[in-house]
Structure 1
Amino acid sequence: MLPNVIVSLYFLALQLRHCAADLCNWTGSGFAAGVDSRIVLQVRLRCTEGSVRWVYPGQALRVVLEPNLSSSLRTTVCIKPSPSFRGASVFIERAGELELLVTDGERPQRVFCFRADGPHRPAIYLHARPQSDGHWSRRAMGFRYELLGNRSAAPNSGHSGLQTSCRPCNDTELLMAICNSDFVVRGYIKNISHNSESQTSSVEVSAARVYWQRSGVFEREAAPGASWHGSIHALLQCHVKPGDGEFLFTGSEHFGEAWLGCAPRYKDFLSVYQTARAARRNSCDFPLD
């Protein structure tokens, strides 16, 4: 059950102060709560990903996500608290009720996801712990957020988040992956490391060709003609193993990290793609060289 003080803050707040923000990100101060403890700062963000940074956090902050696209395309919200996040509890607001997501005192090192179905815009509610000495100290807390579509997976997520599938992709899924993935890279596996604490594996890749990527996950080495390199994450439960030969890596990007999707051997992909193209069943054109 939620503490009575939080319920009172949320439902009985006499003032709801709206804070200026750009379309994707917000940075602001909680000083206003020091003037009137009934104030709940409200921020509205209109992108599918961005960040929130709350300096001198005081009392409560409500972040409403209002992306300028059909809500049916984005049914899962994921947040990743900053490393300095402490001194506050995080709630999600659904159907006029608050559900605890992160407990005060917890130092979360993972991504938290929740479903955002329904007619109401998803909202994230932060309740800051009062300063014990009555003085304001320069502390900051925040999180990054992403709204995911139906095809996206939310790896390493808690609560009701989706989980990355570990099974191999069939031909249809592979042909869709080269069209819809956040990154498509051809290369070799250099090393695989496992982390039991985060329950993830990291695949170090040396890439001969980066067809596309949404951000700068894969970087080119400084030497002329050098290959690309980067790391791709997977769930530990998928038991990713090293393999020889050239692979085609696809997947999604979340919070600046690449997560593994379909990863066939390149020669196997070529066979599938060329067969589909001959039958005019390929979902999109892919550069062959």
Structure 2
Amino acid sequence: MYPTGALIVNLRPNTSPASYKHLTVCIKPFKDSAGANIYLEKTGELKLLVRDGDRSKVYCFGYDQGGLFIEATPQQDISRKITGFQYELMNKGIASDLHTVSAPCRPCSDTEVLLAVCTSDFVIRGSIQDVTNKAEEQESIIHVGVNKLYRQKSKVFQLTGESGNWRGQIKTLLECGVKPGDGDFLFTGRMHFGEARLGCAPRFKDFQRMYKEAKDKGLNPCEIGPD
């Protein structure tokens, strides 16, 4: 609050140091965060990560790339400024997480899909009812009608109205160009700062094929009903 000077923030996960190289750090500035620039700092070198007033994005970097250097910006008035952000740590050694961070628009391989089914925060079969594009935030909101709920860790997908249908929203990057269309998909993904973020999303018939092939060979990493 009323930021002045600078400080360094080093995140220390509750894991062994040997696992640090596999971690990705993501930070998301609070909506009203103001008064400071946030840099990535390593061995005295600074790289601008979040410019003061830029609050519309999530910024990710490898844990081994350095710590956070938070420096107050000169102010022309004495109004209250508060600099704050949320952070999350992800294991970039997990294929589904790596895909989400490094290449979110690339179709998942069969192996990535099968692993995502086992490790994702949510797994549902559903259809794309509508897509809302947020150009300013560079995001798309996918409005999903759920036909079968396999798993969810948060109540993102809920029963709506008297019809008893399950519905929910999933976010992804605008550049992925998601559009409404016919057919069912298997949606998987992670909860990221309280929001459902899209991971792998093959057409459901393709998932059935890859699941059956893996099961016949005894290579499926976990059991889930393909129907």
TM-score by length of 1: 0.67
The 8 Å contact of residues 233 and 257 in structure 1, kept in 2 or not, is answered as yes
Q: Distance in 2 between matches of 1:281 and 1:183?
A: 22
Q: Which residue is equivalent to 1:149?
A: 91
1:47-90 deviations in Å (ceiling 9; x for gaps) = xxxxxxxx34333333210001121331x221111111112111
Aligned residue for 1:140, secondary structure, equals: coil
Alignment of 1:128-277 (within 5 A): 128-129=72-73, 132=76, 137-150=79-92, 151=94, 152-153=97-98, 162-221=101-160, 223=162, 226-277=164-215
Q: Distance in 1 between matches of 2:161 and 2:9?
A: 41
Aligned residue for 1:78, secondary structure, equals: strand
| Aligned with residue 36 of structure 2, among 76, 83, 88 | 88
Q: Going by fraction, where is helix more abundant, 1 or 2?
A: 2
The 8 Å contact of residues 134 and 140 in structure 2, kept in 1 or not, is answered as yes
Deviation at 1:144, TM superposition (A): 0.7
Q: Which residue is equivalent to 1:126?
A: 70
Q: Distance in 2 between matches of 1:79 and 1:154?
A: 18
Q: Which residue is equivalent to 1:60?
A: 6
| Aligned with residue 109 of structure 1, among 17, 39, 56 | 56
The 8 Å contact of residues 34 and 83 in structure 2, kept in 1 or not, is answered as yes
1:148-199 deviations in Å (ceiling 9; x for gaps) = 22142586xxxxxx44332322322221121122221111211012233332
Aligned residue for 1:86, secondary structure, equals: coil
Instruction: Answer with 214-223 or 109-118: which moved more.
Output: 214-223
Deviation at 1:130, TM superposition (A): 5.6
Q: For this pair of structures, how many residues does the alignment match? A: 221
Aligned residue for 1:117, secondary structure, equals: helix
Runs of 4+ in 1 over 6 A off after TM superposition: none
Q: Which residue is equivalent to 1:45?
A: none
Q: Distance in 1 between matches of 2:9 and 2:152?
A: 29
1:224-249 deviations in Å (ceiling 9; x for gaps) = x7232221122222222222122210
1:166 is aligned with what amino acid?
Answer: C
Q: Distance in 1 between matches of 2:132 and 2:35?
A: 33
Quick check: 1:71 aligned with 2:20?
Answer: yes
Q: Distance in 2 between matches of 1:230 and 1:275?
A: 30
Q: Distance in 1 between matches of 2:154 and 2:98?
A: 17
Q: Distance in 1 between matches of 2:199 and 2:164?
A: 25
Aligned residue for 2:212, secondary structure, equals: helix
Larger Rg: 1
Q: Distance in 2 between matches of 1:266 and 1:178?
A: 12
Question: Identity across aligned pairs (percent)?
Answer: 46
Gaps of 5+ in 1: 1-54, 156-161
1:211 is aligned with what amino acid?
Answer: Y
Q: Distance in 1 between matches of 2:185 and 2:148?
A: 11
Residues 1:287 and 1:188: Cα distance change in structure 2 (over 3 Å):
same
